Every structure is written in C-alpha cells, then in structure tokens.
Amino acid sequence: MSPKELTSESFARYPVEGQKLAVSKIALLRNLPLGFVPFVLKEVIAYDWKFPAERKELEQQFSYLESLPGEEMRRQMAVFAQLRLSPALEASDWVDFPGQFLEQLSAQLWATHQMDAFRAASETYMQTVFAKFPQGVPSIPRLGIAVIGQGVVQKRYALFRKLSREGVYFHQVKAKGGLQSIMKTVNARAEAHTVPYGHWYIDGGETAALAGSAVTCVSYQALAPARAMLTEKMRKVYTSANFSAEALRTLLAQIGPQELGMSASGADAVLDRFAISLLTEGSGTQIFSTTFVQWAAREALRRAQPVTLLARYMPRQREKPMNELLLEVQAKPESDPHGSLIDGDMGAYYTWLNQQRLTGADQSSFLVWFEDHGEAVAVGPAFPRGTEERKSVEIHELLARVS
Amino acid sequence: MLGSGYLNPWAGANSTREVSRAISLSRRDFLRTATGAVAGSALFGSMAGRGMALPRSKKAIVVTFGGGARDDETFALDGQENIPHLLHDLMPRATFFSQVVNRGILGHYVATASLATGVYESFNNFAAVPPDFPTVFEYFRKDLKRPASDAWVIAPSNGFNRIGESGHRSYGAGMGAGVILPKRLLAAALPGGGGGGYDHLLRDNYESAVYSPAVGGHELEMQQLAEVLKLSVNDFAAHAKSLASPDELSVYIARQLMRHLAPSLLWITLHDIDIAHSGTFSLYLDGIKRSDRLCGELWSAIENDPEYAGKTTMFILPDFGRDSDISAGGNGFQHHRTGDPVSRTTWMMAMGPGVRQNVVVERPVESTDLVPTLGSLLGFNPHLSTGKPLTEVL
C-alpha cells in the first residue's frame, strides 16, 4: 500500500484522539514517502497517551510539514523517498503497526548500508524543525536530582568522575534529613509551579511517602505485579512450540494496560502507558532496578520535558557468577548495593546529560547525592566547573542554591 | 518523529573521519602517557622494538570482544583501571592500531562474521545462516592443505554456530573450522539439559532475549568434545562450577584445545562485556576487567606452551564500539544502535614474533583488514576479502 492510498477508514483502529488527528492530516500524510510516514504514524497512533510536551512537538512538526511548498517538501523528503525498501516491507501493514514496520526498516537499512544516510537525513530534518519552532525556556529553571548508593556503608569506587568536571564536588555534606529535604524541595516546586507532568519522582524501590500529590510518581516496586505478569507472558511465548522472535516482538508491541493489571482509561492512563513502555521497550528494566530508574528518567525527560525530576537509585538484585548459579540454582535473589552505587553514578551522569538536551540548559541545575553520606556534586550556573568544596554544608543549603 | 538534539564534545571534528581521528588521537595520547608507546611512523622501517626472528611454523590466535568496549572505559583516563593487563603486560609487547573502523552492520554475529571473512557481511544478525564469503578458516585450510583439527572457533552463543564455514560455493561444507559453543556444551552437561533454573546462565546473548536459532553448522557436540579433548562430561561440568563466567569457560576450552591439538589458527570470541545491554554499568565494567584478565592469561599460556611460544601472533580487537554518551539517539554504553563514529571506531592490538613492540599506529584501518593480514602472516590468499594487509605487523 502506498501512502497515496490512505483514506479516513485506514485509521479506523486508531484510538480516538489519534484517529481524529490522522484524519485531519490525511492530505499531508498522502504526500509523505513510505520511508517517512510510518515515523509519523507511530507517534499519531499513540497520541491519546502522549504527554503535553510531546503533543506540542508533534503538532509543530505537522505545522512545519504543511508549511513547505511542493519543491521544498520534495527536497526535505528526498533521502527518505529514495530509501530502498523490500517488497515485503512495502506490503506490510505499516498503518496499523508502524512500530513493527520501523523495526524491520531499521534492520533493512543496516543490511543495505543505508543507515548512515538515513541517520544524517533524520538529524538534518530535526534540526530544521527545531530552527523553525524554537522551543521556549521553561517556566522555572529545570532542576534534576539523583540520589544514589542507598545501603552502601563504605564505597570502593571513585564517585562523580564525570559530573564533578561540570560543577562543584562537596565533600562534607550533612546527611541527616537529606532525603526529607529533597522531597520537600520537589513538593514545593510542584505546588508553586503547576505544570502537567512537570515534576517527577522516580524511585528504584517504593515511592517515598513524602511525595506530594502534585508530583508524578513512578516506582520499580509499584510495578512489581505488572513486571511479573509481563515476564510470565514473555516466558510463555519463549517456551511455546511456535516460538519466534517476531511473535515476541509482536506481543511486546501490542501489550496493553489491562493485560498487566493497569487502568486502560482515566487520569492514570497516560502514566500507565508510560510505565508499560518502560517495561516493554527498555532493555534490562524488567530485571534491574538501577536500569529501570535510569531509563525511566531518560524517557521522562525526553518525552514529558519536566522542570523537576528526582531519580532515586536503590540496590538492584545481584548478578551471580556462573559458579554460584550452577551450585545454588534455587537460592533467593540478593541485592548488590555496591554495584548499584556504580550504576547510579553513571545513571546520574546520563540524567544530567538528558536534562541538558532540553531547553533552558544554561539555567538548569543538577544535584547528585550519595545517600546517607557526605558526598555530593552540584552543577549549574551557581557552581564553578571542576571545583571542590570541603567546608561542611547542609543539604537544604545546597538545594536552596540549585533551585 | 525522528531523533532529537546532539551534544558534541568532539567540537570542531565535523566529519566522521575527523571524529574517528580525534578518538584515535585520544587513545594515542593516553597510551603514550600510560606506557611510553611511540608512534609507528617514527619507527617504521627501523628494527627498534622488533621481536625475535620469524620461526618456520607460525600460529595465530585471534581474540575478539563480541560486545564492544568504549574508550571511556578502557583506554581513556577513567578507564585505565579496568585494563591493567592490556596496558601493562601486553601493550609493551604490542603494536597498537588506534583507529580501527567498522563500516558494516553493528550486530555481534554479523560483525564477527565480517571480521572472519574480511568482507562486510550483510545478512540478518539474528538469523542462523553462514557467512556469504569464505572465512579465514576456509582460506587457511584450503590453501595450506591443513586438517580440520588445525582451525577452531570458540564462540559465545548459538548464533555463532555457523561462523566456522561460509555458504560460498567454492568453499563451505567440510572446509572450515570446528566451532565450539561452550554454553551449549554446558547445557548438555548439566542435569536435565540445562533446563529449569539455568536459563539465566545459559541465555543465548545479551542483545536480544528472544534469539534461539535452530541447531546447525559445524559445531562440536559434547561427546566429540570428550573424545577430542580427553575431557569427560563430568569433568567438564565440574570444572565449569569453578568458573565465574561463560568467557572463563571459553578460555578454559581454548587452553584445552591448545594443550591437546595445538591448532595453528584459533579464534575466540569473548562476550561477557555485552551484559552492558542490561543497562548495568558496574556489570559492564566487570566484563571489561574479566576480558582484560583473560587476554593476559591467554598470552601467558602462549608464552608457556612450547607448541606456541615464539611462533604465535595474537590479535585482540573488539568487533566494534558502543554508542557514545553524547548521541541523543542512543543510551550511552548500553547499546550500539546509533552507528555513530564512537560505535564504529575501535582498536586492535597485535603481538608476537616480528611484531614491533610498544608502537602505536595512528592511520585509520578497517576491521576487514584482519583477514588479509592473517593471510600474509600464515601464507594463504584471502582473494575475496576487501581488506588490505596491515604492513605494520608483517
């Protein structure tokens, strides 16, 4: 099927809001090449569960494409139009399953050495759109906070190697009441600056009871039932006589909230869909809580573009060496606080990097704290890069300087 | 709809080639600091650092990391603590290529197959198919009329079971290397075939939890292993219980092969590093440290084995890198999906008789150059390879 053959009925199986959007843009969609239009439809089909920031970006891209004169449109789409696709891929159901189409497209681009050209064209396209619609600065400077190392008594690893180059390394932070101070700051920002999905708290264990109602909360522990259900579904496919990688990918792509015991509609539907995407699209998020927190923070920043984000890393399960696995097959999982500290250290750096990819980066601040210990790094306009501070400081004082 | 912004610390390096060179220079500068290595161009043609005279019977051992390791965690300043053996034991004996570019598909099986054929293979990474082009093992055995026992591959997962010989009509069946898949052997040796509780240990690869291709190819089964290596199933299972990882098992089998068959061409693909796909940075570092130690142990085994000492060239190279921290489309060390210059640019270390020691070669080379280099070294003609021999180690 060619994009030119799209009709309103083509989107009959789309969710309500997505269907409306697709039908309203059908004239544009018909003019896009097959190497591009599934990228658009992948976003449209999930439009009902998009965060406000994502919806805005999608609408801006539509506006941009609709504004292009015919010749300019052909120029912008030239690389995508020239992609060599297999007949089987062209014949696949890219309208109802754009995600699967893109996965196969990616494999073909690699196999036919077209990936580099595609990647360059994609980046050029995005830069052009961003230039056309400059993103405004956030209502308040962004603040990211990472809390790492819970459960570690004595560290055996040099922390903050990357982040300390970007700000001030504090060596004498008074740890008492640190988490409460951090939660208080997050809650205060959420209450003072009401932004839908603008303030996040992601926890690798249970969500702390201190989190306020204006804060969007996601926790590894709260998703334990969903993780168990998902793992069981994957196991069934994996062990079935008709197993195929395609079957498992299809399962993951089509899995809905009800199948994992979550709400399908209502106020939490957007967040539930977000949580499902963390488990079905993230690698390692089902098994390791540290990976879950890092990936959730990345996706929250990329998609919701919050002004406040707190990511707290808790000890993940320990990866047993081969000899232990062979000898103690049935042993219960243990936690690995020290390994989790190292995971969290890198995860904090990645969270800062992802925050810096958003607008207002020059005014954004970031704090990473070794929980219950005296070490922290603060990054932002108020903190000279690559410096150290050995004087004693309270966490609430640091928070006052970063927020 | 498509990817988003891009933070670029290689500011000023505005083309892929320049970025690759910037990476190379970073490695070179660090190596100079850490080991006192000198640039190859300064020594090229001289006898400085040259090892002993070439012996008549040559052997080669290739160690690939089927799970790339980045500079940040290896040759850059923060990474030096993870590779003490590569830096301090092996580098002083090695010629180091600081800019090895892989222009092919960044999937471990297809990339390793490309290393082994000297051609960028383009088959589906997750398909149980042989390489399209002849492998180094086929060239070696056909041109030099070597028996099957003289070329072996030890590989990490089921997906590699076809890597020993190609589907090329002039080569192929019966002309390649024996392939040993240690995890498969372990599964066969465990109670109940490795089922029930061992799934996690015996998982096929870290890149995709869903891949389990049909059995096929020229792989060694458990009973054959027992006959070839004089190793009982029980002894094998018992020894496995003393090892910390599948890569340690691979090196154990490599050493058994060296002891009992002394093959002239041995290819080992280590894979523990690829646990990075799980997103756990600490486990990724553990994998790098283990690979570093195992490389040191292999070289030590070579030097202490009369069948190998003084006549063996060892090559160590990752199949490719991993995504950079700065590529917005990726997630740093976790994957190798963006195709950015950091994920395509890696390094290679070569050491052995006649190879210059403690030398850094800065010019860009390609991962497909390995097979022609092995051809020149061992005396066969890989005529279908698109790579070029690396004259710096010949």
Structure-model confidence comparison of residues A238 and A27, the more confident one = A27
Q: Are B278 and A288 inside 8 Å of each other by CB?
A: yes
Binary contact (A58, B1; C-beta < 8 A): yes
Q: What is the tens place of the pLDDT at every residue in B174-224?
A: 999 999 988 878 877 776 655 555 555 555 555 544 334 344 445 566 677
Angle at B315 between CA B310 and CA B319, to 5 degrees: 170
Q: For residue A231, which residues of chain B lie inside 8 Å, CB to CB?
A: none
- CB of B78 within 8 Å of a chain A CB? The answer is yes
* Residues A292-335 pLDDT 10s: 999 999 999 999 999 999 999 999 999 877 777 666 555 677 89
To the nearest whole Å, the CA of A112 is away from the closest chain B CA by 7
The answer to whether residue B49 is domain-embedded is no
The verdict on residue A332 lying in a domain is: yes
Q: How many angstroms separate the CA atoms of A387 and A287, rounded?
A: 37
Q: Do A295 and B208 touch (CB under 8 A)?
A: no
What three-state secondary structure class fits A335? strand
Q: pLDDT at position A138, please?
A: 95
Please tell me the predicted confidence (pLDDT) of residue A250: 74
What's the mean per-residue pLDDT of chain B? 82
Interface predicted TM-score (ipTM): 0.93
Q: What is the pLDDT of residue B36?
A: 59
Give the CATH number for residue B228.
3.40.720.10
CA–CA separation, A197 and A137 (whole Å): 16
How many CB atoms neighbour CB A203 within 10 A? 24
Q: Is B239 on the interface with A (CB under 8 A)?
A: no
Residue A135, pLDDT score: 81
Token pair of A359 as six digits: 């607008």
How many Cβ atoms from other residues are within 10 Å of residue B310's Cβ?
14
Q: What is the pTM of this model?
A: 0.90
Residue A341 has pLDDT above 90, yes or no: yes
| Shortest distance, CA A213 to any CA of chain B (angstroms) | 30
pLDDT reading at B46 higher than 70: no
- pLDDT for B4 equals 37
* Boundary-marking domain end, from A132, A166, A187: A132
List the domain range (segments joined by +) for residue A42: 3-132
Query: Are residues A121 and A152 located together in one domain of the fold?
Result: no
**A71, A100, A132 — which closes off a domain?**
A132
Residues A246 and A338 in one domain: yes
The DSSP code sequence of A208-222 is: PTT--TTSEEEETTT
For A58, A59, A98, B136, B221, the CA distances from A11, given in Å and listed in that order, are 18, 18, 12, 52, 52
d(CA B325, CA B7): 9
Residue A388 has φ and ψ, to the nearest 5°, of -130, 155
Q: Which residues of B touch A316 (CB under 8 A)?
A: 280
**Which range (A386-395, B72-81, B278-287) has the least confidence?**
B72-81
pLDDT surpasses 60 at B80: yes
- Verify that A159 and A86 share a domain, yes or no: no
The answer to whether B24 and B39 are in contact (CB under 8 A) is: no
Query: In the predicted model, is pLDDT for residue B47 greater than 90?
Result: no
B180 lies in a domain?
Answer: yes
Interatomic CA distance for residues A228 and A256, integer angstroms: 15
- Helix, coil or strand: residue A144: strand
Residue B108: inside a domain, yes or no? Answer: yes
As separate numbers, helices (DSSP H) first and strands (DSSP E) second, chain A gives 17, 10
What is the mean predicted confidence (pLDDT) over A162-171?
98
Q: How many domains does chain B have?
A: 1
Backbone phi, psi, residue B347, to 5°? -135, 170
What CA–CA distance (Å, rounded) separates A402 from A391?
17
Residue at which a domain ends, from A99, A132, A165: A132
Q: Are residues A291 and A397 in the same domain?
A: yes
**Shortest distance, CA A346 to any CA of chain B (angstroms):** 7
Backbone angles phi, psi at A379, to 5 degrees: -125, 140
- Within a domain: A138: no
> Is residue A373 a part of any domain in this protein?
yes
Cα gap B383→B388, rounded to integer Å? 11
Question: Is A365 part of any domain?
Answer: yes
Domain count, chain A: 2
The verdict on residue A137 lying in a domain is: no
Residue of B nearest to A250 (CA): B210
> With 60 as the cut, is the pLDDT of residue B307 above it?
yes
Spell out the alpha helix ranges (H) of chain B.
Answer: 16-35, 40-43, 84, 108-117, 136-144, 182-189, 222-229, 233-240, 246-260, 281-303, 341-344, 370-378
- B208-217, B272-281, B314-323: range with lowest mean pLDDT: B208-217
B residues 133-192 closer than 8 Å to A (CB):
190
